[in-house]
A and B are shown apart, each in its own frame.
Chain A
Amino acid sequence: NAGVTQTPKFRVLKTGQSMTLLCAQDMNHEYMYWYRQDPGMGLRLIHYSVGEGTTAKGEVPDGYNVSRLKKQNFLLGLESAAPSQTSVYFCASSWFINSESSYNEQFFGPGTRLTVL
């Protein structure tokens, strides 16, 4: 099992350019998440999905869009990149969480380091 993979690992964009980050998981997880990590800010949730065809906003969704057309993939799009979006982006996935169990172990990818000039 590859687990959670992210493509690309590094990217440099100019302000105003667009790009898509791809996350793939081979664990048949229902839930997937996109986070950004900035120095002194910890991890902040951008968007998440509780199943194929569904998405929901997290803490910092502005400037990003997501799609979950296939269960194993979760795409994060930047339509018009800004320097404030310079960050390390992490994708994560987890199993279905029922209301009684609520155990939520998330499996993380290795990250994408994005620089916007």
Chain B
Amino acid sequence: GEDVEQSLFLSVREGDSSVINCTYTDSSSTYLYWYKQEPGAGLQLLTYIFSNMDMKQDQRLTVLLNKKDKHLSLRIADTQTGDSAIYFCAESPLTLGNTPLVFGKGTRLSVIA
């Protein structure tokens, strides 16, 4: 079945780079997403990548996609305390009619000043 796996915790020092990894199972997903959840709030789309791309860069964010290994990563350069949040990886498998998103359990990023 569909499953998205990511590590639960990551701790980095302010100014360092953060890399959050995700593996997914359904190769039919045409888009893969990263959502950010700040404390006490709902999720917000941070960035996404289309499945025919290997990399997408958006200011401090870099998304890498390895379709062969079904591996997605999010790199945050120069991590700031405001980046402390939970980051969710998500896919939209066509096998589900591509309507629901399948989310990972989320990675809690803690930034140490």
Contacts and interface: CB of A to CB of B under 8 A. Distances in A.
B100 interface: yes
A110 B105 contact: no
Contacts of A106: 43, 45, 101
B94 A105 contact: no
A110 B41 contact: yes
Sorting the interface of chain B by its residue count into under 10, 10 to 19, 20 to 34 or 35 or more gives 20 to 34
**Chain B interface mostly:** loop
Interface residues of A, number: 24
Contacts of A31: 99
Q: List 7 A-B pairs, minimum CB-CB distance, nearest first.
A: A108-B42, A42-B105, A43-B103, A108-B43, A102-B98, A102-B30, A104-B92
A40 B92 contact: no
A15 B24 CA distance: 37
B8 A45 contact: no
A42 B101 contact: no
Nearest to A42: B105
Interface of A: 4, 31, 33, 40-43, 45, 48, 50, 58, 90, 92, 97, 99, 102-106, 108-111
A58 B106 CA distance: 19
A104 B99 contact: yes
Given A103-B31, A105-B48, A43 B88 contact: yes
Nearest to A113: B40
B44 interface: yes
A58 to B, nearest CB: 6
Contact of B100 (A41, A45, A99, A105): A45
